[in-house]
Structure 1
Amino acid sequence: MSADHRLGRMLAPRSVALVGASTVPNSPGNAMVLELQSSRFPGAVHPVNPRYAEIEGLVCHDRLGDLPEVPDLAVLGVGNDRLEEQVAAAIELGVGGVVIPGSALLPDDDARSTLRGRIRDRAREAGLPIVGANCMGFYNVDAWFRAFPFHRPQELQPGGVTLVAQSGSVLQALLWNNQKLHFNLAISPGQELVTGVSDYMDFALEQDSTRVIALFIEAVRRPEDFVAALEKAAARGVPVVALKAGRSPQAATLALSHSGAIAGDDAAYRTLFERYGVLPVSSLDELAATALLLSDERRPPAGGLATIHDSGGERELLLDLAEDVGVPFARIGEQTTRAIAERLDHGLEAINPLDAWGTGRDHPVVFEHCLQALVDDDDTAIGVFVVDLTSGFHLHESFARICRRVHQRTTKPMAMLTNHVGTESQELARRVTDLGIPVLDGTVPGLVAIRNLLAYRDFRWSPHIAPATAPDPETTARWWARLTRPEMLTESEGLALLADYGIPTVPHAVVGDPDSAVAAAARLGYPVVLKTAAAGILHKSDVGGVGLNLADEAAVRETFADLAGRLGPEVLVAPMAAPGTELALGVVHDPQFGAMVMVAAGGVLIEVVGDRQLGLVPIDERIADRMISKLKVAAVLDGARGRAPADRAAIVSALVCLSNLVADVGDLVAELDINPLVVDAAGCRALDALVVPVAAVQDGSPVEREHVEVGSGEVHPQEGQP
């Protein structure tokens, strides 16, 4: 498949030119020659440097044009001042791709013209793919090929892990130092002048050897292509593990709504990852452990983790950390419990996780019997032997043999797990891993890998996302016309928009005189709330624009007079809301990945607590329910401390309706905030709606920004506070 791919000549070359090759020891020019010789590359290697006639036994040529053939790949190991001419020569010759390890920066670069920009533009016009600039090159272990500026004699076993790392040091660390990981492809994309992460993922997904893709990413430069690669990986059942660097939220200081203000870069990535089954990790250890476990061809059935230990204390530690990480344990059945109990020493409990070390008498038989029983249980998805391996120690060697025998008698995945990353286990761990039993280093990285294995299973089993439901064409046309006007929506218009898309809203009336306010209050029912409806005031409490719990006509007239005198005669009248749990719903437009809906703890807590979940549009009932379940306030919704459980189905419906709204007219909405959405046992209702059309933001005139204090929170009518 490599030869047919658009990157085939570059990433799986049959011939290569090494421009800037050298005889100087420890130089990049010499290292790239030695790397190819170490890799046992079977194709033609052409060093290019006018200073030499021969390098490491290979005939050296003066320039690219002197080669006896057109190479598939040219590695340009030359100074920045010579890069542009060499790229031009490669294009003229018809080379299939180039690698640029250098920075491609010049002292005279300016905003109008840079070396990187000129190389990028010329290569794109010519259709020349480039690895780099400012990169460490790549390894294609399947093709026995290495383009690398450093040399370390080592033989790599082909495997199923594709590694794409936007850090050359990360690539080097995992490629050179984790000898249990077996790669088919490892790439350092560098500046991605032409070819990026998504292109390399696409190439890997066309390789039969690819079992898992591991990513270290700092930024996604072509979001649409990245999403397409994730879709392709999901469709082909190839798990993607991602370590995203730079996860600190970037405050949206110019956002007009609370939703916009709390959306961070990390939240957008996590939402994207969840949609496409990408498995997030937080460290290189977790990345390596997850890639190792997912590179195993075995996939887990239903159920949880079953573990066997030779230490009670380490079993307790595993239990604590598994709860933190979120790994479920298998609930073993009575038959399994009896089978284990008949072999255990007196005083040991036949439970999962299992401490099977008692007196040590006949331990090989005890451990093998118990591990087999655990793995065979119907609720076990993966069996793990937890032990701090030491190579050559007879006890640990026997544990490894036990794992091998049980592994041969089951189709379920199995692993060994050490509690300490620094445990002296490499030689024994390599042997065990090569038998198909991954050895995971460190309790937390190992548990994260197991959680990700089970999460990917659940993702593969989950149904497809239901498409968005559109309203009738008349509703769409009406709101399309309104949202294209460059004026902010009033609160009443915002509530009407929500209602038209199926989100329950509080009844209300907008009035312009005290008699109309009194009549509206009588019709809606006392007590009521009065809020200013003056244009451009987004957070009304900040300007004293809310009157709460007005119980009679006199209170309504007094409050109306105050609001009208300070802020204008337009006032919204609504009934005071019954007590309930406050949530907030919102819409966030990520500049890279598009529209997302948000659910969060509402009221004044929305930014203080930071309890929120995002979902990439469209979402369906299943995703909405999962978002709600992840909130800290979910315990309150479920009826904490004797409270009646809230109507979860109503919240789910409101979230899906909001997603449908965004799918229909979301391109016209810059920000949308529903805060609060009050929820009780009878349902939910939106009490306030802030809608910022894109046209209003672009126009800039109708929004009174001096009234906006992002992060201040807003006191809402049902809270009963002045």
Structure 2
Amino acid sequence: MNTPDSMTARLSQTAPAHRLDPLLKPRSIAFVGASTRPNTPGNSMIRAARRDGFSGALYAINQKYDEVEGVACFPDLAALPQRVDHVVLGLANEHLEAGLNDAIRHGAAAVTIFASCNLPGAHDTLADRLQAVAREAGIVICGGNSMGFVNPPLGLVVSGYMARHRLAPGGATLITQSGSAFSALAYNDQRLKFSAAISSGRELTVTTADYIDWALDQPETRVIGLFLETARDPEAFKASLAKAERLRIPVVVLKVGRTEMSAAFAASHSGAIAGDNAAYEALFAKHGVLTVETLDSLAANLLLFSTVKPAGQGGLASIHDSGGEREMVADLATKLGIPFARISKDTQDRLARHLDDGLKPDNPLDVWGTGRDFETHVEACLDALVDDPDTAIGVMFEDIRNGSYITEGFTAAAIRVAKRSAKPVALVTNYSALDHRDVALKVTEAGVPVIDGTEEGLGAIRNLLAFRDHAPVAPLLRPANPKRDQWRSRLVKGALNESEGLALLADYGIRVPRHYRAETLEDTLAAAGAIGFPVALKTAAPGIQHKSDPQGVLLGLRNQDELRAAYQDMASRLGPAVLVAEMAPKGVEIALGLIRDPQFGPYLMVASGGIWIEVLKDRAVAVAPLDHRWAQHLIDSLRIRPLLDGKRGAAPTDIDALARAILSLSDISGELGDLIAEMDVNPLIVSASGAFAVDALVVTQRFPPKLPGFGDKEARN
């Protein structure tokens, strides 16, 4: 979170102007298409820009008028008395090209476009033409199809629509690819105050990544919220998230479009169960980005992060005026994995002095008894809970209402505790439709954010603690694998067969069974003799990726007679090429995967393995390189994790060997991942004697080459 040290670090970087300053912090603006007709975007954009106290120069452009809403109006940009930083094109689509060219000739550095940039006709390329012209001129554009933006610290609103109230400055930055999400969050609840809110629209020349980068340079920014459909500039997006991580500024994202459509096209089990969203999930996990699923949750997170102090160590301490609602909160917090502070005996003694008979000094705490002198007792109890060394955040769960003396007493107590404490204090309502708008705003502005809804509040608290606990990956500096270049040369030629896949794993330090390829019965029997019975027999026919589907895997063949019969049957059905392999020890089946995303590159997957991989879909993903701590975190996040500790008489497995195998896959990703489309290690059998890769599938078909665009450095400059 934004601390004095992190703010100093950012302020030291703000001396040079950011390239988005003319767009988001302009000194002068001209509004093309201004209108005197009420209730139109051309009129609203002038009124919005004037209302909140922007001190820069404002000009209206329309040849019909001399003045619009008290702003001097000129026939065109050429007639202005000065060159403006920013031109707002409040024009219909058919006039956008001319308007953009006028802005470029005028010398403006930035443009905002509200219109969709679509013209009639299936093959219209208006958006492409505008983008090309703007890039050539080096001009930055907010939009098109944008609702505009607000910069409350400057008193600036650039939008064809406006809130009913003046926008007070705060610490949250909102960057949204949904115009409706922009107007919903920026223009309604006055508790949520912004350093900036931006409707990015079609992102013709300025992407979400650019806006994040700009926001991180603003000293007011305490948290960044994203409503994200896609990252149009993947490399810049990754860099912006890394910058936020480095500066300890939380990023909260509502990612939409999280389907598993790609499963139908995946060549490996790993690609199938990862789904379309896995690359984003892995990237977010790497940089400590926090995720939500609804606008209510996004607003709750932005409100909490932008108003409270950083979380302390420990867990949640909560105070309630209802035993039943306390149980509801406790149930949901447990479900969400939120720990409660384990309060000390001293804290319990402090609580007991202020509780009526029948109430126990616990955490979570039911404080309501007779109601006698309740404000004094509530304050003392909340103070004791927040003071406890194991309390990270103190939260009052209270259904506050306008005009209630009980509400006044509870909230006054919370405000006083928040002012005294170095830890965060918040208030969460258990019902979001309360009649409490006035008191909720008053309490929030006094320093105790009021978050509506039990689940929304607890979700924000969970993310506050998760952000506190996030630590960047610190991979060990490992020398390049001596066989790296050999494998790169081989992978360029195409997919590996299973024997080659196992050899690749072995060269990177993952244990594999002894195995031989054979194409005759005699060679098959000889291979088994060299290995020793029992053995496994697998088809090595080209093109069969999942060998168990056509009954191409037979296990535990005990002697030559069983092997002979098995080979003759398999050869008659699937062809003579086979793999004879050592039988693996029994253990817990894990799957490891490597998938190369066309936007973000390779990422890793750890999952429940064997036949359960697609049934349980129990998986975790990450971006290489990893450290041992992160490999352990991936293991611990699996639902089958308890099986690795040994159950029902089974010995505990070698979890450290599994972590080392994950780190080896991380090395493969770093050195070979650009040449591998998908890779399955399934199953990887983990037992007391180590981790043993039984099967390997390596697919090398290439993604189409990246088209020139936002990924090119030249296009961003």
TM-score normalized with structure 2 length: 0.94
- Name the CA distance, whole Å, in 1 between partners of 2:488 and 2:216: 41
Instruction: Describe the superposition over 1:609-650 as per-residue Cα deviations: whole angstroms up to 9, x where unpaired.
Output: 211111111122111111111111112223344433222111
1:69 to 74, 78, 82: 82
- Name the CA distance, whole Å, in 2 between partners of 1:418 and 1:615: 35
2:489 to 481, 484, 502: 481
Equivalent residue, structure 1, for 2:306: 295
Q: Describe the SS at the equivalent of 2:262.
A: coil
- Name the CA distance, whole Å, in 1 between partners of 2:185 and 2:40: 22
Offset at residue 360 of structure 1 (A): 1.7
- The alpha-carbon distance between structure 1 residues 48 and 266, as it changes in their structure 2 partners (threshold 3 A), is same
Equivalent residue, structure 2, for 1:321: 332
- Name the CA distance, whole Å, in 1 between partners of 2:375 and 2:357: 17
- Name the CA distance, whole Å, in 2 between partners of 1:408 and 1:492: 66
Q: Describe the SS at the equivalent of 2:190.
A: coil
Q: Kindly report which structure 2 residues correspond to 1:153-302, keeping only aligned pairs within 5 A, or say none.
A: 153-296=164-307, 298-302=309-313
Offset at residue 468 of structure 1 (A): 6.0
- The alpha-carbon distance between structure 1 residues 470 and 562, as it changes in their structure 2 partners (threshold 3 A), is farther
1:669 to 670, 676, 682: 676
**Greater displacement, 462-471 / 192-201:** 462-471
> For residue 63 of structure 1, what is the amino acid of its counterpart?
D
Question: Is residue 596 from structure 1 mapped to residue 603 from structure 2 by the alignment?
Answer: yes
Equivalent residue, structure 1, for 2:148: 137
Equivalent residue, structure 1, for 2:103: 90
- The alpha-carbon distance between structure 1 residues 292 and 641, as it changes in their structure 2 partners (threshold 3 A), is farther
Question: Is residue 456 from structure 1 mapped to residue 453 from structure 2 by the alignment?
Answer: no
Q: Describe the SS at the equivalent of 1:177.
A: coil
Offset at residue 522 of structure 1 (A): 3.3
The answer as to whether partners of 1:2 and 1:8 remain within 8 angstroms in 2 is no
Offset at residue 565 of structure 1 (A): 3.3
Equivalent residue, structure 2, for 1:23: 36
Offset at residue 229 of structure 1 (A): 0.8
- The alpha-carbon distance between structure 1 residues 635 and 206, as it changes in their structure 2 partners (threshold 3 A), is same
> For residue 51 of structure 2, what is the amino acid of its counterpart?
S
CA RMSD of aligned residues (A): 1.7
Equivalent residue, structure 2, for 1:40: 53
Equivalent residue, structure 2, for 1:538: 545
- Name the CA distance, whole Å, in 1 between partners of 2:137 and 2:148: 21
The answer as to whether partners of 1:498 and 1:504 remain within 8 angstroms in 2 is yes
Question: Is residue 420 from structure 1 mapped to residue 431 from structure 2 by the alignment?
Answer: yes
The answer as to whether partners of 1:136 and 1:149 remain within 8 angstroms in 2 is yes
The answer as to whether partners of 2:510 and 2:661 remain within 8 angstroms in 1 is yes
**Greater displacement, 439-448 / 676-685:** 676-685
Question: Is residue 378 from structure 1 mapped to residue 389 from structure 2 by the alignment?
Answer: yes
Instruction: Describe the superposition over 1:551-590 as per-residue Cα deviations: whole angstroms up to 9, x where unpaired.
Output: 1111112222223333333321123333221111111111
Equivalent residue, structure 1, for 2:627: 620
Question: Is residue 503 from structure 1 mapped to residue 510 from structure 2 by the alignment?
Answer: yes
Question: Is residue 573 from structure 1 mapped to residue 586 from structure 2 by the alignment?
Answer: no
1:356 to 367, 389, 409: 367
Gaps of 5+ in 1: 699-722
**Greater displacement, 599-608 / 250-259:** 250-259
Offset at residue 547 of structure 1 (A): 2.4
Q: Describe the SS at the equivalent of 1:421.
A: coil
Q: Describe the SS at the equivalent of 1:540.
A: coil
- Name the CA distance, whole Å, in 2 between partners of 1:657 and 1:287: 37
The answer as to whether partners of 2:429 and 2:452 remain within 8 angstroms in 1 is yes
Offset at residue 2 of structure 1 (A): 8.8
- Name the CA distance, whole Å, in 1 between partners of 2:573 and 2:429: 69
Equivalent residue, structure 2, for 1:713: none
- Name the CA distance, whole Å, in 1 between partners of 2:452 and 2:16: 37
- The alpha-carbon distance between structure 1 residues 377 and 477, as it changes in their structure 2 partners (threshold 3 A), is same
Instruction: Describe the superposition over 1:385-444 as per-residue Cα deviations: whole angstroms up to 9, x where unpaired.
Output: 110011221111111111122122210011011111112222111111112211111100
Question: Is residue 103 from structure 1 mapped to residue 116 from structure 2 by the alignment?
Answer: yes
The answer as to whether partners of 1:19 and 1:48 remain within 8 angstroms in 2 is yes
Instruction: Describe the superposition over 1:285-315 as per-residue Cα deviations: whole angstroms up to 9, x where unpaired.
Output: 1111111111125111210000011100000
Offset at residue 201 of structure 1 (A): 1.1
Q: Describe the SS at the equivalent of 1:674.
A: strand
Identity of aligned residues (%): 48
Gaps of 5+ in 2: 1-13, 705-717
- Name the CA distance, whole Å, in 2 between partners of 1:463 and 1:175: 32
Offset at residue 523 of structure 1 (A): 3.4
The answer as to whether partners of 1:2 and 1:206 remain within 8 angstroms in 2 is no
> For residue 93 of structure 1, what is the amino acid of its counterpart?
H
The answer as to whether partners of 2:163 and 2:188 remain within 8 angstroms in 1 is no
> For residue 599 of structure 1, what is the amino acid of its counterpart?
V
Offset at residue 163 of structure 1 (A): 0.7
- Name the CA distance, whole Å, in 2 between partners of 1:405 and 1:289: 22
**Greater displacement, 20-29 / 3-12:** 3-12
**Greater displacement, 289-298 / 124-133:** 289-298
Offset at residue 44 of structure 1 (A): 1.5
Instruction: Describe the superposition over 1:58-105 as per-residue Cα deviations: whole angstroms up to 9, x where unpaired.
Output: 221111111111111111111111110110010011112111101111
Question: Is residue 587 from structure 1 mapped to residue 594 from structure 2 by the alignment?
Answer: yes
Offset at residue 57 of structure 1 (A): 2.3
Q: Describe the SS at the equivalent of 1:541.
A: coil
The answer as to whether partners of 2:286 and 2:472 remain within 8 angstroms in 1 is no
- Name the CA distance, whole Å, in 1 between partners of 2:260 and 2:678: 18
> For residue 41 of structure 2, what is the amino acid of its counterpart?
P
The answer as to whether partners of 1:73 and 1:97 remain within 8 angstroms in 2 is yes
- Name the CA distance, whole Å, in 2 between partners of 1:151 and 1:494: 60
Question: Is residue 410 from structure 1 mapped to residue 418 from structure 2 by the alignment?
Answer: no
Equivalent residue, structure 1, for 2:7: none
TM-score normalized with structure 1 length: 0.93
Offset at residue 484 of structure 1 (A): 1.6
Question: Is residue 8 from structure 1 mapped to residue 51 from structure 2 by the alignment?
Answer: no
2:474 to 440, 456, 465: 465
Q: Describe the SS at the equivalent of 1:416.
A: strand
Offset at residue 694 of structure 1 (A): 3.6
Offset at residue 3 of structure 1 (A): 7.7
- Name the CA distance, whole Å, in 1 between partners of 2:606 and 2:256: 25
Question: Is residue 634 from structure 1 mapped to residue 641 from structure 2 by the alignment?
Answer: yes
Equivalent residue, structure 2, for 1:705: none
> For residue 352 of structure 1, what is the amino acid of its counterpart?
N
- Name the CA distance, whole Å, in 2 between partners of 1:32 and 1:481: 59
> For residue 276 of structure 2, what is the amino acid of its counterpart?
D
Equivalent residue, structure 1, for 2:652: 645
Q: Describe the SS at the equivalent of 1:105.
A: coil
- Name the CA distance, whole Å, in 2 between partners of 1:590 and 1:223: 11
The answer as to whether partners of 1:582 and 1:676 remain within 8 angstroms in 2 is yes
Instruction: Describe the superposition over 1:360-405 as per-residue Cα deviations: whole angstroms up to 9, x where unpaired.
Output: 2222222122111111111000001110011221111111111122
- The alpha-carbon distance between structure 1 residues 2 and 396, as it changes in their structure 2 partners (threshold 3 A), is farther
The answer as to whether partners of 2:473 and 2:626 remain within 8 angstroms in 1 is no
Instruction: Describe the superposition over 1:480-523 as per-residue Cα deviations: whole angstroms up to 9, x where unpaired.
Output: 2211213x312111111001101111222223333333333233
Equivalent residue, structure 2, for 1:128: 139
2:412 to 396, 401, 404: 401
- Name the CA distance, whole Å, in 2 between partners of 1:548 and 1:342: 69
- Name the CA distance, whole Å, in 2 between partners of 1:408 and 1:106: 56
